[in-house]
Chains A and B, each alone.
Chain A
Amino acid sequence: MKKIESKHLLGLEKISKKDIETIIDVGFTFREVLERPIKKVPVLNGKNIVNLFFENSTRTKISFELAEKRLSADVTNFSASSSSVQKGETLKDTIQNIHVMKMDCVVMRHPVPGSCLQLTNYVDVPIVNAGDGTHEHPTQALLDMMSIKERFGKIEGLNIGIVGDILHSRVALSNIYGLIKMGANVKVCAPPHLLQRGIEKLGVSVCYDVDDLIDWADAINVLRIQRERMGIGLIPSTREYRTFFGITNERLARHKKELVIMHPGPINRGVEIDSEVADSDQAIILDQVLNGVAVRMSVLYLLLGSKDFE
């Protein structure tokens, strides 16, 4: 019987390896469901799920919404700009107002780290973290790992590189926690000032030269460069970034090796990754998107649908 111990999915730091394996395994089952002519299963029929988004998001929100609908859950979307929340209502007030309307699960994105954990103090339904500031984005890392497993048949022992603005990336942090737990070797590559001080303590190695990373890695997760980071002088220009950290066609051609390219999207073509690379066979970016729906179905199913199974 497939079950997970976790009551919530707040991040991959605290969750067990076994739970991660279960979520990915069940994810592949849902992947099969997504190949059917009718892609909807009645497993969460009658459950209410609220998507609480305090930060703009298109992809993650659509992916969660699709996952919820394909599980036959009722979906309520609540979007609040963080500024209106800063002005008056506390997170506690917001969530209690929603919870009183009898929700079975909350999926939350919030600009501030730890907000999802805080939420667990206020409501007693499963909480799914859809990204909390610069902390974690666990479903993204789960879908990345599922895509790696799909491509390689395993995760353990693989060399996985992550390149980009690691410092501000919840995708990077969740990937690091998850991949290390699953036995992969992780190397991060970034401009030195866009790396957390002491990041080696998480069990990763560090390099500043993207060519070294390409030499070493079986797969590279290319992080999106947030344009808002450029205005404050952290990245001098897209041209300079591309020169030193871009996964360019020429760079890959030079290395002549099999390398799987991943990207959490949306892509800045010509900045962190070249168009030809993103569209090539070695890129599994679109598989990641599909696996994202499957793994979110898996998470919601395991947190809501199967919790009472004996």
Chain B
Amino acid sequence: MSKRTLNSKGNILLKNGRIYDPFLLINEKSDLLISDGFIEEIKKDIKIKKDFDVIDCEGKIITNGFVDIHAHFREPGFEFKETLETGSTAAIHGGYTRVCTMPNTNPVIDTPELVKFIIDSSIDLPIYIHPIGAITKGQKGLELAEIGQMIQAGAVAISDDGLPLTNSQLMRYALEYSKKFGIPVINHAEDCCLVNQGTMHEGDVSLNLGLVGNPDISESTMIYRDLAIADYVGGSLHIPHVSSSKSLDVIKFFKEKGVNVSVEVTPHHLALTDKALQSYDTNAKVAPPIRSDIDRESIQNAVCSGLINCIATDHAPHSIVDKERDFNNASCGMIGLESAFGVTNKVLKDKKTVESIIDLFTINPCKIINIEPNLIMEKKLAELNIIDPNIKWEFKPSSIKSKSSNSPFVGEKLIGKVMMTINKGFCINNF
């Protein structure tokens, strides 16, 4: 793997690939020439010149950079877990060119100044960072934060993620107020009382392990509340990391009523079940928890039917110290940026076309937060991935670029890989 900037005088010729840009509705074989980080030319049979680096893209797909609308980069405050820089490096190695960072840092991102700090800090990084602002000041769930000014400063959504917004009236205010700005409200949907300090899904496995279970109804009842409010007052609700079959039933009901709702799922909820915790693997401890076979099947079906709009990693780096605790005290969350496509594609490749899988990482998340990446057009700054959807590879410790390595997928065989990512003049080559 090599990393170099293209800003000097790099000319890269992508030969024989198929270009798929769902924004432009392009899906055809073509060569593509990149010069100084910009797309110079797109056409069939571009002649090779001697100062070109030629990449044979036969059998591969050239598509837009991935967009993650849910990640935790921990800066400011928890730089020992991740920084904007290490998070960005992890992102671009997973094919992500744009990442929305959650505001549960220290301090919480709840002012325009802090939003600007994140954006300014990311200027020289290989990806674009789109901050998500807090709904309430300090994520305390008591009073609304400066939502409008944060949007002006560049925030793309609001969320108190990590914690649910328990006050229903405040949830109503947030949904109403956000209508003025046209951004979605993202609520970490868990009823804390029903969670009851549960550390994993309540089911057969928690029964065997003697762990307190967090039942699926802790999520579905909160989602019902949020959707009922959204149904009543309008506004745009985005449901993060959906984990249960019951929640999907609730969402389907309200979606059919016409509520403006979008839904994301993580690769781990799509791929794993609570059996992953059978040996108390704290790396598989997440909130909301990974649930049963039935929940996983419902989630996969909902991705196929379009009820779930997109994949989001919920990339949640934690240091070894946070994870090597006993199960109850270990932190919740896993990293996901580097493994997201391989995990997702492996699960979905027999159920969906590769194009529709790619959409889950590109156009679909962009629609939710109303952003548009640099499209695959001549004269545009290159922001693209070269994907091999069929390659089998092992997710190794060396595949991890995040500052933390809390992933239960280490050692797993994945299918489909981002072979090269070009963004903001950076090029990550995984060939």
Residues of chain A having any CB pair with chain B under 8 Å: 13, 86, 90-92, 110-115, 117-118, 132-136, 170, 173, 196-199, 201-202
Set of chain A residues within 8 Å of B325, measured between Cβ atoms: 90-91
Say whether, besides A112-B326, A117-B279, A198 and B211 are in contact (CB < 8 Å).
no
Residue B22 interfacial (CB < 8 Å):
no
Set of chain A residues within 8 Å of B324, measured between Cβ atoms: 90-92
Interchain residue pairs with CB less than 8 A apart (5): A90-B325, A133-B211, A199-B207, A201-B204, A202-B207
Residues of chain B having any CB pair with chain A under 8 Å: 202-204, 207-213, 215, 279-280, 321, 324-329
CA gap between A13 and B326 in the complex, in Å? 20
User: How far is the CB of A83 from the nearest CB of chain B, in Å?
Assistant: 11
User: How far is the CB of A106 from the nearest CB of chain B, in Å?
Assistant: 15
Say whether, besides A117-B280, A197-B202, A198-B204, A91 and B326 are in contact (CB < 8 Å).
yes
User: How far is the CB of A178 from the nearest CB of chain B, in Å?
Assistant: 14
Partner of B329, one of A112, A170, A201, A202: A112
Set of chain A residues within 8 Å of B215, measured between Cβ atoms: 197
Asked if A112 and B207 make an inter-chain contact with CB atoms under 8 angstroms apart, the answer reads no
Chain B residue with the shortest CB-CB distance to A14: B208
Set of chain B residues within 8 Å of A198, measured between Cβ atoms: 203-204, 207
User: How far is the CB of A138 from the nearest CB of chain B, in Å?
Assistant: 12
Set of chain A residues within 8 Å of B212, measured between Cβ atoms: 134
Partner of A114, one of B207, B211, B213, B321: B211
Asked if B210 and A133 make an inter-chain contact with CB atoms under 8 angstroms apart, the answer reads yes
CA gap between A119 and B27 in the complex, in Å? 54
Residue of B202, B203, B211, B325 with highest tally of chain A CB at under 10 A: B325
Asked if B327 and A114 make an inter-chain contact with CB atoms under 8 angstroms apart, the answer reads yes
CA gap between A170 and B212 in the complex, in Å? 12
CA gap between A133 and B310 in the complex, in Å? 39
Set of chain B residues within 8 Å of A170, measured between Cβ atoms: 210
Set of chain B residues within 8 Å of A197, measured between Cβ atoms: 202-203, 207, 213, 215
Asked if A196 and B280 make an inter-chain contact with CB atoms under 8 angstroms apart, the answer reads no
Partner of A113, one of B203, B204, B210, B321: B210
Asked if B208 and A13 make an inter-chain contact with CB atoms under 8 angstroms apart, the answer reads yes
Asked if A132 and B329 make an inter-chain contact with CB atoms under 8 angstroms apart, the answer reads no
Residue of A112, A134, A170, A196 with highest tally of chain B CB at under 10 A: A112
User: How far is the CB of A234 from the nearest CB of chain B, in Å?
Assistant: 11
CA gap between A136 and B211 in the complex, in Å? 11
User: How far is the CB of A96 from the nearest CB of chain B, in Å?
Assistant: 11
Say whether, besides A135-B211, A136-B210, A112 and B203 are in contact (CB < 8 Å).
no
CA gap between A90 and B213 in the complex, in Å? 24
User: How far is the CB of A85 from the nearest CB of chain B, in Å?
Assistant: 8
Asked if B209 and A135 make an inter-chain contact with CB atoms under 8 angstroms apart, the answer reads yes
CA gap between A201 and B280 in the complex, in Å? 20
Set of chain A residues within 8 Å of B209, measured between Cβ atoms: 113-114, 135
Chain B residue with the shortest CB-CB distance to A114: B280
CA gap between A86 and B331 in the complex, in Å? 12
CA gap between A166 and B207 in the complex, in Å? 11
User: How far is the CB of A199 from the nearest CB of chain B, in Å?
Assistant: 7
Set of chain A residues within 8 Å of B207, measured between Cβ atoms: 196-199, 201-202
Set of chain B residues within 8 Å of A135, measured between Cβ atoms: 209-211
Residue of B208, B212, B215, B329 with highest tally of chain A CB at under 10 A: B208
Set of chain B residues within 8 Å of A115, measured between Cβ atoms: 326-327
User: How far is the CB of A298 from the nearest CB of chain B, in Å?
Assistant: 24
User: How far is the CB of A92 from the nearest CB of chain B, in Å?
Assistant: 5
Asked if A113 and B329 make an inter-chain contact with CB atoms under 8 angstroms apart, the answer reads no
CA gap between A239 and B208 in the complex, in Å? 32
Asked if A133 and B280 make an inter-chain contact with CB atoms under 8 angstroms apart, the answer reads no
Chain B residue with the shortest CB-CB distance to A117: B280
User: How far is the CB of B278 from the nearest CB of chain A, in Å?
Assistant: 10
User: How far is the CB of A141 from the nearest CB of chain B, in Å?
Assistant: 13
Set of chain B residues within 8 Å of A136, measured between Cβ atoms: 210
Chain A residue with the shortest CB-CB distance to B322: A90
Residue of A90, A92, A113, A135 with highest tally of chain B CB at under 10 A: A113
Chain B residue with the shortest CB-CB distance to A202: B207
Set of chain B residues within 8 Å of A111, measured between Cβ atoms: 328
User: How far is the CB of B20 from the nearest CB of chain A, in Å?
Assistant: 44
Asked if B326 and A114 make an inter-chain contact with CB atoms under 8 angstroms apart, the answer reads yes
Set of chain B residues within 8 Å of A117, measured between Cβ atoms: 279-280
Asked if B213 and A118 make an inter-chain contact with CB atoms under 8 angstroms apart, the answer reads no
Set of chain B residues within 8 Å of A196, measured between Cβ atoms: 207
CA gap between A113 and B200 in the complex, in Å? 12
Asked if B280 and A134 make an inter-chain contact with CB atoms under 8 angstroms apart, the answer reads no
Residue of A86, A173, A197 with highest tally of chain B CB at under 10 A: A197
What would 16 more interface pairs be, CB under 8 Å, given A90-B325, A91-B324, A118-B280? A90-B324, A91-B325, A112-B328, A113-B209, A113-B327, A113-B328, A114-B210, A114-B280, A115-B327, A117-B279, A118-B326, A133-B211, A170-B210, A198-B203, A198-B207, A202-B208
User: How far is the CB of B368 from the nearest CB of chain A, in Å?
Assistant: 35
Residue of B204, B325, B326, B327 with highest tally of chain A CB at under 10 A: B326
Residue of A91, A114, A136, A173 with highest tally of chain B CB at under 10 A: A114
Chain B residue with the shortest CB-CB distance to A136: B210
Set of chain B residues within 8 Å of A134, measured between Cβ atoms: 210-212
Set of chain B residues within 8 Å of A114, measured between Cβ atoms: 209-211, 279-280, 326-327
Say whether, besides A90-B321, A135-B211, A173-B210, A113 and B202 are in contact (CB < 8 Å).
no
Chain B residue with the shortest CB-CB distance to A91: B326
